A and B are shown apart, each in its own frame.
Chain A
Amino acid sequence: MKLPQFELHRPTSVDAAARLLADLGDDGSAFSGGTELLLAMKLGLIKSRHLVDLKGLPELHGIELRPGGVWIGAGVTHAEIEASPAVRAILAPLAVMASQIANMRVRAVGTIGGNLCFADPNSDPATFLSAVGARLRTWVRGESREVAPEEFTVGPYQTVLEPGDLLLGVWVPTPPPSANVVHLRMKIHERPSVTVAAMVEASHGEVVAARLAVGSVGPKVLQVDLGEELRGLGGSAYSSRVGALVALLAGSIPLLPERPESPEYQRHLVRVLSTRALEVGLAAATSSAGRPAQNGGGEA
């Protein structure tokens, strides 16, 4: 259970880091907060003999308000997101979500990029970012590219990145003024068993756009755009349509095998949390139309 020996590399540019990782191939791992990587190495699950420390890359740091949204570098810690005035200004629920990740020690060193790249299916950020339409900026064979969070993850602990590719940061667009973001999760064990995030945009009590993301139950985040299905609906028509859509989703969502909870109960939770998120989403969007309406996250 001791950390095996490794060589630590400290590149100072994205290019150098990417080249180093490409050369090392499976023998190298990108290293930032280390909250997942070092544990996996202690357990012998990852046997990299070279760690490439990305903390020295200036491009990966900083949270910046820009026209239309906020840029969060991949090397930004959860604690920095939690405390960021820029994040709170455009999307307070993101700060709340970050404040609920793991524990204070993990949040102090663990990074948003590390979390997304480790791709643990029982995790909140990917689900949340997927619902708010965030885009991940990657560095793939010397080129900058953009990918949606739900596309970035391929499966448990697997992303689209190849050795030598890097995640540079996350672009979070400012939600429309009449949109509301709701993040709910249920923790039965240490990590969330179900994570649900919804963004509902409404006008005069009727839906303009709606997006739902469900994570922690399946191998990767499932994101569905419900805009077409729900547009123009409000009140009981909305509720009954949400009920039907969510029942369909809960019944068909792929689940991870060998979980302590039965598939039946997991699907029940997906249905309950998704319904709550979409209902609260519309109610709050309606009650605060015209202002940047946002709802905090919470435990189910």
Chain B
Amino acid sequence: MIKDYRLFWSALGLVALGGTFALLSLGYPLGTLHRMGPGFFPLVLGFILAGLGLVILLGAGTQTLGAAKVAWRPLGFISAAILAFGLLIGPFGLLPATFVAALLSAFADASSRPLPVVVYSAVLTAGVWAVFVLVLGIPFTAIRGVL
């Protein structure tokens, strides 16, 4: 009898996580209570977490969290922006990566319009250059091959 699947799966996840850590801990020397080895503390923690997960799991039968509203639009655009930043900064430098990431993340808001977003991203890119390169002096390649 499961009333709330989010509670159910998250609690099951906790049990699994605790169990995994406890299992992995057995691979390290446990030591004794007197001289604890590296495996002792995580083993105990793993058991505690699995136990807590089980108690929370019981609640999934009677409780509900209400309908979940997943913010798909921000999830998609902002994840893409962060990945784009990471992928572009190496080969192209800080400024192109910033510009593209700003462009992508701005569209997480449904009311964003292309032209203001381009202007905004350009301003933000200039700001990043001013703050991180000019003021803080962090050694970034601004634009590979140019700056």
Q: Do A and B come from one complex?
A: no
Give A contacts to B, CB under 8 Å: none
- CB within 8 Å of A: which residues of B? none
